[in-house]
Structure 1
Amino acid sequence: MKLFKRTMLLLLLVICLAPFTVDASSYYGVISGAGVRVRKSVDSTDYYKLASSGEIFNMPDNQIVSPNAACTNGWYKVNYNGNTGYVCSNYLKVYEINNSDDSDGKTPTNDCEVSLQQAGFPSSYWNGLCQIKSAHPNWTFVAKKTDSSGNTIDWNMSVAAEASCGSNTISTKDDSMKDTSCTKATDSGYYPVSEKAVRYYMDPRNFLNEVNIFMFEKQDSSFNISHDQYQTVSSKIFGNSFLVNQIPDLPNYIRRASEQTNVNEAAISTRIKQELGNAKLTSGEYSGQLYSCVSGNYTTRYPSKTYNGNSLDNYYNFFNINATDGSNVTEKALIYAYNHKWGGTGNQAEDRVTSIVGGTNFLKNRYINAGQNTIYFQKFNIFPNTATSRYVNQYMTNIAAPVSESKISYNAYRDAGLLGANFEFIIPVFSGMNSTSSLAENISSNNSNSTSNQKPSVDAIVNNSGFSYSSGYMSHINPGTSVNDIKNALQGIAGDGNVTITNANGQKVDGVIGTGYRININGSSNETLIAVVYGDASGDGQINALDLLKIQKDILGTSGLNGSYKTAADASKDGKVNALDLLKVQKQILGSGNIEQ
C-alpha cells in the first residue's frame, strides 16, 4: 500500500522554527539527534533551545572547541538569533557551503541554449531541456533560483536536510538507498532514505525528459486547455479503475472542484489516482482499507471502528489527508473527513463533491498558494513563500512520488492528444551544484566516488520510467504498448545505455510488446528483464480469447503455464491462478472491467 504522508510527521523531523538562509558563513551544521541542546556556553547547562533532528544552523567556522566532561569530543559554535550557541560535536554534522560563482562559463552553441542561459539555467540543464524543446516548442521552462526573499538555496544544505532521519521514505531493494542507521518507524515495505537517494531524486537534472518533466508542471494554470479537454485527461488518468467503477461521475466531481478552486483538473486527478488508485479487486470486493476512503462504508466493513461513538460511514477523503505513518491510517483519514464535514448529509453525490472540493482547497491553500505549485515542490519544499516552512510542509514522504505522478500526468495528456498545449514548467536551480547531475554518482554504484560515465542501475531505470521492477520482471505495461514506446521511455532515463527488446526466441521485434519478451538494458550491468502484461498469458501483447483458453487449461491442469506467463495469468495478483483471473480477463475483453497493471 502506497501511502503519502502528511505535514504533521515532518514537523518533528526537520527545520520548523527559525528561518535558515545562507549568509557569509562557509559552514553549516545539521542536528543528528532529538532534543539536542543549543547551549549558551560550554560550561553551563542553560540553553537557547532543544533542537530537532535535521535542524540546520549557520556556523562561524568548523573548529571544535573546549572538550569537557559534558562533551568529551568538544563543541561546535553555531549562530542562533544573533547569539553564539554551542552544540556537542557528537550531535552535529558539519558541511561546507560552496560560495563560488555558479556560472560555469560554458558558451551556448545554439538558440535553445542561449535562451536557457538567459533564463538562468546552468549548462548542465541545457541538453535535456533542449531535447524536450525540440519536440515541444510550445513548452516553456522557468528557472526557479531564489525564494520569495531573494535567497539562493545551497544544494548540499538541502540534501542534508532532506536526508535527516525520517524525513523521506523509499520502497527499494537497494540497501545503498536506505538509511539503516535511522530507526524511525515507516509503513511496511518502506525505509528511511540514504543521502544517496536524496541526491538522486531531488536533482532536477535527472528528470529532464519528456515524461518526468511533468513533475515540474505548474498546477495553478490551465495552459489554455478547456474543461472538456480536461474531462478527457481525467478519464485517461482513471481509465476503468476501481475509482471510476465505484464512482462513474468522478471526472464531473473533479471538474466542479477545479471550477471552484482554480486548480487544474489534471493536478487533482493525478493526486487522487496516486493516493487511492491502486486498490485491488479480490474475492468480489476491493481489498485494502484505503478503499473505504471513497466507498463510504468503513464501519460496515470494519464494525469495531467508530469515532467518539459515531459511525464513519458516508464520509469521504479522496486525498488521504491525515493518513500518516503508523496504524489505523484509514481511520485517521476518515476522522479528518468527519471533523471537516466531508459527508454525513445523506446525499452521497454532494458529499463526495464536498470531499473533493475540500481536499483540493487543502492542496491549494496549504501548498500551491504557499509556493509549492508543482509536484516536485510539494515533495521538496525548497523555495517556500515563508522561510520557516523550508524542508517542512511536504505533502508526501515517499521520495519517488514525483516520478510516478509525472508518469500519470504525461500518459494522460498524451492519450488525450494534448501534448501540444502551452505547458509551463517551473524547475529549481540550486547554488553549489556540481556540473554533472547526481544520476551516475548516486544511483549506479555503492561507491560514492563513482565517475560520471557510469550508468544508473537497471531497477532505477525501470522504476523511474514509470514501470515496475521486481525479481527480474518488468511490469506495469498496458496491453497494446508498442516496443518503441517501451524503448523510448527506458532510454529517456538510461541516457547512453542501450535498450534492446526481443521476443522469447531472441529475435528483435517491433510492434506490440507481450509477456515473455526480453528487455536488455546495457547500463552499469548487462541485465535482461522479462516483460509481464497482466492478463496476457499467451504472450502476444493483447488480452483476448486465447488468454482465456490458456488460463482455463492451467486451472484444469491440461496445459500448465510457467514463468512470466504464469505471473501474467494471475490477473488479480492474489498469488494464484483461478476463476477470478478468468473473470477479470473476460471483463477486460468485454470492456466492462480493466486489469490493473
Structure 2
Amino acid sequence: MRSKASTSGTIKGKLTAGTVVTVLSEKNGWSQIKTNNLEGYVSSEYLTRITTPENGTDDQTDPEEDKQPEETPTTVEKKVNVQAGSSLNVRSTASTSGVIKGKLTAGTVVTVLSEKNGWSQIKTNNLEGYVSSEYLTSITTPENGTDDQTDQEEDKQSEEAPTAVEKIVNVQAGSSLNMRATPSTSGTILSKLAAGTVVTVQSEENGWSKIIVNNLEGYVSTEYLTAKDNGSTNVTINKSYVNYNLTLEDMTNIQLKVNPQTDTKYDTYIREDAIVFKTSDSTKGTVLGSGWRLRGGAGTDYSVVSTLTSGQVLTVVSKVKGTDGYYWYKVDYSQAWVSASKEDTAYYLNPDNFINSDIQSLQFLKLSAKANVDDKEVDSKILAGKGILAGKASAFVTAANAYGINELYLISHALLETGNGTSTLANGVEVNGKMVYNMYGIGAYDGSAISSGAEYAYNAGWFTPEAAIIGGAKFIAQGYINAGQDTLYKMRWNPDAAEKTGTATHQYASDIGWATKQVNQIYNLYSLISTYTLNYEIPTYQVNAK
C-alpha cells in the first residue's frame, strides 16, 4: 500500500492475501483504499470484489446484465496526450514488460477497444496493442459537450480531491532545512534538504508543511518554503531509444560476474557447520576456516551476500531449516557494502522502473547534449549567492558550446565540488606568484587536495574563474562522455560494451544504485528554471524467449 497512486509512492504498509479493504476511489489502475485505519493506494489488478447475497451470486444475475452481452460493444476515440517531441509506447500486452510494437506521437487519434487496470487496448492505422490509459484524453465534440458542459459529479470530485503543490527550499547557501518525522522541532530528523530542493507539499497547518521528497515523507517549517515559479516555460523534450541485442536477464548475468555492490541491508544466513560457539554465549559464533559464503536466505540457492574469513565472530539471531536440508543460522552482518542480489541488480538495470519518474528518468539524460538554458535566468535562480560561481552562467554556457556537454551537469558538478562556490580551490590559491582556480576538484588528491589541485590548475593555465570553468569542462568531457557513455545510466552499466564483448567493463561505480543517486541535484536545478531542453536516450532490451 503506497502513499500515492504510483510505484514511486512511499510504502505505507503490506496487505496479506484475503485482506478486506474499502475502496474509496479508482483511477488509472490504482485504487484509493482504507483498512484498519490505514489509508493509501494499491494496484487495482490485485483487488477482487466480494460477492454477497445483497450483491448477487452467479445464480442471481440481474435481468439487465443478462441483456448486455447481446448488445454490440461500443468503441470510443481518444487522442494521445504526451508532451511534444515525446511518444507513447504501444505494447503487445497490458504491461510495461510487453514488447513495444510501435510509438504514437502527441495528438494521434486512436480507437479504444477496451480498458482495464489502467491500460487501454487500442487500434490505429492497422496497429493494435495496449497503451497506458493515463496518456489518452477524450476528444471533445459538439455531441459530447464542451468545456462549459462538464459533468457535475466530476466537478464535485475535483473539489474534494486534496491538491498537492510543489515548493522550493529557501535557505541560505551552504545550510540545510531539517525534515522531521513529526510537525515539531523535537521530531526525529529524517533528512536535511539543501537550498533549492523541490518538494511536494501535501498539507499545511500551524506553521508546518507535510511534504514528500525523493519518496520520503515528513514535515518542514513552512517559513523556509517558497512557491515554485510556474510562469511561462520554454521546455523542449526529445526522446530516442537504443535497442540492445541482449535480454534483461543476459545483461543481469553479465553484471553479476563482476560482483556488483549495494548498501541495501539484507537478511543474512550462514550454514550451521561454518561456525562454532567458543564461549558460553550462544549468540556469538566464530567462523571456522575461510571461504564460507554468507547468503541472502537459508540455502545454497540464495545469492551470496559476502564471503567470510576465518575467525570472524557473528551474532546469531535464529536457527532455521534450509532449502538444502541443512540447518542455517540467521546472523547480524553490519558490513556497509555487500554483494547485490540478482533481483536487485535486475531492478536497477531495467529502464522501465525509472523512465516514468520525473526525477529518476534523468539518469537517461544525454550529457553530451546542451541544455540550452538562458544564462541570465541561471544566474538569478541557480547561481545567485553561490560564492565565486555567482554570475558565471555565461562561462558554463561557453564550456557547453566548446566541448559538447550539458551545462547544468557542469553546474551541478561545480556546486558539489566547490561547496556551492565557497571552497579554497574555487576562490583561488597562489602558485608561483599567480592566483589559480579549480572549479571541479580536478587533480585534487586526498591528503593534498589544495596543493595538488592548485598545481594542476597552474599547469593547465586556469588563472581566472572562467578559465577554470571552461578548461575543466574539457577534462570532464574527455572521460566517460566522449567515450560514448554520455548518460548516468551508461556511465554505470555501459550496455554498449556489454553487447559487444559480453563483459561488464569501464563502469564508473560498482554500486547498483549509483545512477539513481546522482539525479536529485540535476532535477533540482532544472526545477528552478523555465527555459531548457531535455534530451533522453533510453535503452531497450530484448524480451526473454518463452
**Fold match (TM-score > 0.5):** no
TM range (shorter): 0.3 to 0.5
Determine which structure has the larger helix proportion and give its number: 1
Determine which structure has the larger strand proportion and give its number: 2
Bigger RCO (CA 8 Å, 6+ sep): 1
Question: What TM-score, normalized by structure 1, do the two folds share?
Answer: 0.37
The structure with more radius of gyration: 2
Question: What TM-score, normalized by structure 2, do the two folds share?
Answer: 0.40
